[in-house]
Amino acid sequence: MPRPVKRYAFIHAKLRTRLSKMLSSDLLEQMIRAHSLQEAVQLLRGGAFDIIESVYSRTGDLKMAELELLKREIRLYTEVESYLDDELLRFLRALTARYEIENLKNLLRLWFDRNVRGRSIQEAAGYLLREKIHFDLNIEAVLEARDIETVLEALASTPYAQVIAPHAASAGETLFPLEVALDHFYYRMLVEETENLEPRDRRIARRLIGVEIDLQNIGWLVRFKDFYKLPLDEALPLMIPFGHNLDQQTLGEAYGGQSITAVVAGLIKKRYAALAPLLSGAGGEQTSRLVLIERVLSEIMMLEVRHILTGYPFAIGIVLAYFILKKN
């Protein structure tokens, strides 16, 4: 059996089945229009997300249901890992690091709330994911830490300590630089792992990851410019490199001169003509413009994913597509 088929046939079948169980837009629409949370959650009963209804019925706590869902997803990826080997396994582990990094960000935010803002974290601490994904985040030690140095000590056995250490000085005022550093670390790690993939897989992975980075950068651009009013020389280094369509120069020009909407419009015109009608409502106040841009970006990602799903089935695309669709 050819290697790609041997490698991907089972994973492809498994993830395709999972994709088919994703919530339809009809059901999502019904849930949004439900008159109460109970009624919205009830709609999930008997379906692929039955676990949300089940946990909510038992605890009345939607966050517990979300946590359970997250655990289930991570278990799925762990299961998929068991079917992979070599560079694919390393790549998937890099992908799943996203969950760990998000969990770490939540943990740091709780620490910040308690130690810097002096808020109670009694309730929120219970919703942290305590299962180990790749590294032990030493959650209790971080939560107990009185200062950022103690946090770094607690995270010493993970690669994340070195990532956030250079930004420790700002931790007394804001976590923003730490979080950006973690995002940079994630994408850098991901892109590095693509170098070990076979050429076809590398091409697909670089494209999808690059598009995701583009969308992340555009989203940040809008926020930095319109909401945080950061100057260009502070904002540009925060952009993630390795984008597919937008390089640093374009981002800089967008930030410095043109409106972000124009950048997005240019991107659509060049690469995603089918989405042009979506931008017809651009303009108006900042928040609605941001919402519109985010929607357009989401559609761009969906277009890329659909393109992958209709392409060659025995490649890394199915794994990435599943990750992205789940995230969105």
Q: Which residues here bind another protein, judged by CB under 8 A?
A: 30, 33-39, 42-43, 45-46, 56-61, 64, 114, 121-123, 125-127, 140-141, 143-144
Closest distance of CB 159 from another protein, Å: 23
Which of residues 126 and 283 has its CB atom nearest to another protein in the complex? 126
Distances (CA, A) of 230 to 56, 154, 224, 262: 42, 32, 6, 19
Nearer to another protein, 64 or 325 (CB): 64
* Closest C-alpha to 194, from 182, 203, 185: 203
Tokens representing 30 are 């019904």
Q: How far is the CB of 64 from another protein (least distance, A)?
A: 6
Residue number, 121 or 238, with CB nearest to another protein: 121
Cα distance between residue 151 and residue 183, in whole Å: 19
Q: How far is the CB of 33 from another protein (least distance, A)?
A: 8
Which of residues 139 and 264 has its CB atom nearest to another protein in the complex?
139
Residue 114 beta carbon to another protein: minimum distance, rounded to whole angstroms: 7
Question: Cβ closer to another protein: 127 or 272?
Answer: 127
Tell me the C-alpha to C-alpha distance, in Å, between residue 69 and each of 23, 72, 151, 220: 14, 5, 28, 28
What is the closest distance, in whole angstroms, from the C-beta atom of residue 35 to another protein in the complex?
Answer: 6
Q: By C-alpha distance, which of 323, 308, 257, 312 is closest to 5?
A: 312
Q: Which is nearer to another protein, 140 or 173 (CB)?
A: 140
**Shortest separation between residue 78's beta carbon and another protein, angstroms:** 22
3-class state of residue 91 by DSSP? helix
- Decide: 4 and 25 in contact? Cβ < 8 Å: no
Q: How far is the CB of 186 from another protein (least distance, A)?
A: 28
Q: Pick the closer one to another protein by CB: 27 or 238.
A: 27
Among 125, 122, 119, 77, CA closest to 97: 77
Which of these, 273, 246, 240, lies nearest to 258 by C-alpha position? Answer: 246
Q: How far apart are the C-alpha atoms of 299 and 304, rounded to whole Å?
A: 9
Separation CA 64–CA 103 (nearest Å)? 15
